[in-house]
Chain A
Amino acid sequence: MSNSREIRLFWFKLAFVVTVLGLAHLLALSVVDGKTSIGLAKVSGPRQSHMIIGTSRIAQAVMPSVLEKEIGAPFLNFAIDAATTSYSPTYNRAIEQKLDPHASNGKFILAMDPWCITGFYHPKNGTVMYPEKKTPLGQLQTFNWPLNIEYLIRDYHEGWGSIILTHLRDNSTVTGHRDGWVEVTRNTDEDFVQSRKEKKIAAKKKEIEHAFVSEEKKQALYSLIKKLKAHGKVYLVRLPVDPDYYLLEEEFYPGFQLFVDSLVRDYGVPFLSMQNMTSEVAYNDGHHINKKYAPLISERIAQWIQSTP
């Protein structure tokens, strides 16, 4: 048993350690930037009227800054990756939380490719998996804080001291911009690109063994389009990919174009396929566009939006 002096000293020491740790964490918070987390800017800040929606492909290819310059509307790129932001009720909930409920003249660019509506079976027991529910975005309660600490806590899996180290280092290959664009810097030597493409295609082929076109995800997409149409115009875009990768997509879901046609017909939304641009651009891995071509892609989309009645 301790006497009161010892207890007071104990509390003093504990308070000292907690205060120092608290200050160190505050310091880390003060230097949080796009190198800390690519999703953080997307879930921080006010609700939005114009959004880019989809998976990592569109997260890296469409730059809101270019769209704003061309169209005059400030967009938020709200796409993260296939595990988190392929169409699903979970993603729809996040979009709803981020969407300005008073927006009436919004513009919404939705990525269209088979992976956006692909579900997966558990490789061992064959049950349908819902990985998006376990992602930081899927579990998030707050979407509009100036700096979303809740997201940071859920998404950042390292000691917060490494936020400071990452901030000081200048060799980050992935940066999330304030407007949500994800800038990925990769070695563009042909050998590296080819090797990454081969690996990506091999990994995708393996993934496909347990994948299926999900009716549930299609339903989520329908409901998202309906919801967004009430707030403005919806634009469907299929981004270009390497021809080998395109072939893989066609093999996986041969009826994809028919599905898109049905969306255009049933919901009256315009669709732009950019696959004919494949020779004009370069890729990091056959799937994600090289960042040098993101302005070009964004510009073409902006021009198409402006020319679409």
Chain B
Amino acid sequence: MYFHSILFAPFLFFLFFVYHFVLPKTQKGQNLLLLLGSLAFLGLNDLKSCGIILITGLINFAAVKKMSQLAEGNLKKYVFYLGCAANIGVLGYYKYLGTLLSGIQSIFQGQSTNTLTDIIIPIGLSFYTFQLLAYWIDVYNEEIEPETNPLDFGVFILYFPKMLSGPIELYQKFSPQIKLPRQFDTALTTDGLRQFMWGFFKKTVISTHCLSFYAIAFPEGQTHAGLVVLLGGMLNIIYIYADFSGYSDMACGLSKLFGIRLTNNFASPFFSTNISEFWKRWHVSLSSWIMLYVFTPLSFILRRHNKVGVIVSIVTSFVLVGIWHGATSNYIVFGLLHGLFFIPLVLRGGSINASNSSTSAFSSSTKMFGTFMLIALTSLFFRDVPVRQTLQEITSIITSGQLNVPTALFHGATNMLYWLLIIACFVVEYIQRRHEHALCIAILPTWKRWLTYAIVLCIIFFFSSYPSDHFIYVQF
């Protein structure tokens, strides 16, 4: 049961109605309902994941509380390390052990017969683990007080809008919102519905049609060469973006229905003029997490090495971003490349956080296009093909000189309409790039708002598609 499945609609409506209009507006009652709803949501998706997350969540709750009561010293430090290691261990067991063992086996035996690759990763485990790690670190560093209420802690870790694929929420940002009773706010709820609608559109219209175009341009099981690789990369990154940002918009929108704001995971990343800006706009909750808990401490440790220290910190952080996606060489190379893309920025001496706001429109557009192409090409490492093949394909854009874009992509009125919708989506996102989401249209006159709703809903009704039942980032 995902956000775009038909069964989710009655589930959501029931929860929303009871939450705001049946239950007395008490903090405890609302949190209890959110916890029960989240458990039901998770259980309906995967009962085993629900069990694992519930058990590990309870252990973490008790362990962090216990750690915070210990006096400063070695014991506290060991408990902290043990807690972090245990969480990483659970993630490692489910996510990395199978891949690692089958890799080792295939090196020595030629092929893998490892049954550990069958281990099903509990839904949302990577997102969940990173939240818990941040919680452990922040309590240990006394940045926050540990949660004493198991109900509130349960809502923090299991809250269903963010359970499947994030955003990765920090306790200090999420927790204050559930410490008070939430009142029904029509403005926030309407905004949430608008954001959900835009996410739904991106997921079911843009992402699915991009995927079908990608399948035409880039049939599986073949090595591609020439200009089609460029097109394949563009379609691939647009597909990933539409799918993941679509999910994130739906998650944030849903959460607003319950009066809780989640981190906006995407801020029009394709309109970035350099790689640093891109990572401030793409998967914001993960990049912020890496910045806070990996890059900042690491660059502090390496501060004496000046630029080399910064570069090492950045590259390490991005390799970790790659590994977070999976332990295969594809993701590691993906992370490594993104880390290396930062080197010119560091060497040039500017701050890696700087974005170019004073450049001309032409210069900005060129930089946006260049950044987009860089991201598009590196997205090819997200596929389940050997790294060597991807490198060969990317090199072939220059070396082969083939202008082999399949004409089938542009055949027929339906395909042209889908291209038009993809372009329209990005035009709207560009116009609305300074807003939280593309359908922030509360200030528009009523008729314009309703016309927008009608257009988006009609497009969804007539042109949406649900070829697969999941979001790409659920696998991570």
Contacts and interface: CB of A to CB of B under 8 A. Distances in A.
A125 B113 CA distance: 6
Contact of B467 (A10, A17, A157, A161): A157
Contacts of A308: none
A280 interface: no
Interface stretch (B181-189, B262-270, B394-402, B436-444): B181-189
B204 A159 contact: yes
Interface stretch (B53-61, B276-284, B457-465): B457-465
Interface string B441-476: 000000000000100011011111111000000000
Contact of A161 (B113, B187, B463): B463
Given A10-B186, A159-B461, A125 B453 contact: no
Given A124-B117, A160-B461, A153 B6 contact: yes
A120 to B, nearest CB: 16
Contacts of B45: none
B460 A125 contact: no
Name the prevailing secondary structure of the A interface residues.
Answer: helix
B117 A165 contact: no
Interface in B121-155: none
Interface in A135-159: 153, 157-159
B72 interface: no
A264 interface: no
Contacts, number: 55
B466 A158 contact: yes
Tier of interface size on chain B = 20 to 34
Q: A6, A14, A24, A159: which has the most chain B beta carbons within 10 Å?
A: A159
Contacts of B465: 157-159
Contact of B189 (A10, A125, A127, A158): A10
B24 to A, nearest CB: 15
A2 interface: yes
A18 to B, nearest CB: 9
B356 interface: no
A2 B185 contact: yes
Contacts of A258: none
A127 B453 contact: no
A200 to B, nearest CB: 16
Contact of B186 (A7, A127, A160): A7
Interface string B105-129: 0000000111101100000000000
Contacts of A164: 462
A71 to B, nearest CB: 40
Contacts of A126: 113
Given A158-B466, A162-B462, A7 B184 contact: yes
A126 B463 CA distance: 38
A285 B388 CA distance: 36
B466 A157 contact: yes
B404 interface: no
Nearest to A134: B469
B190 interface: yes
Interface of B: 6, 112-115, 117-118, 183-187, 189-190, 193, 204, 453, 457-458, 460-467
18 contacts: A1-B184, A2-B183, A2-B184, A2-B186, A7-B184, A10-B190, A14-B193, A21-B461, A124-B117, A125-B114, A153-B6, A158-B465, A159-B204, A159-B460, A159-B461, A161-B461, A161-B463, A165-B462
Interface of A: 1-2, 6-7, 9-10, 14, 17, 21, 24, 124-127, 153, 157-162, 164-165
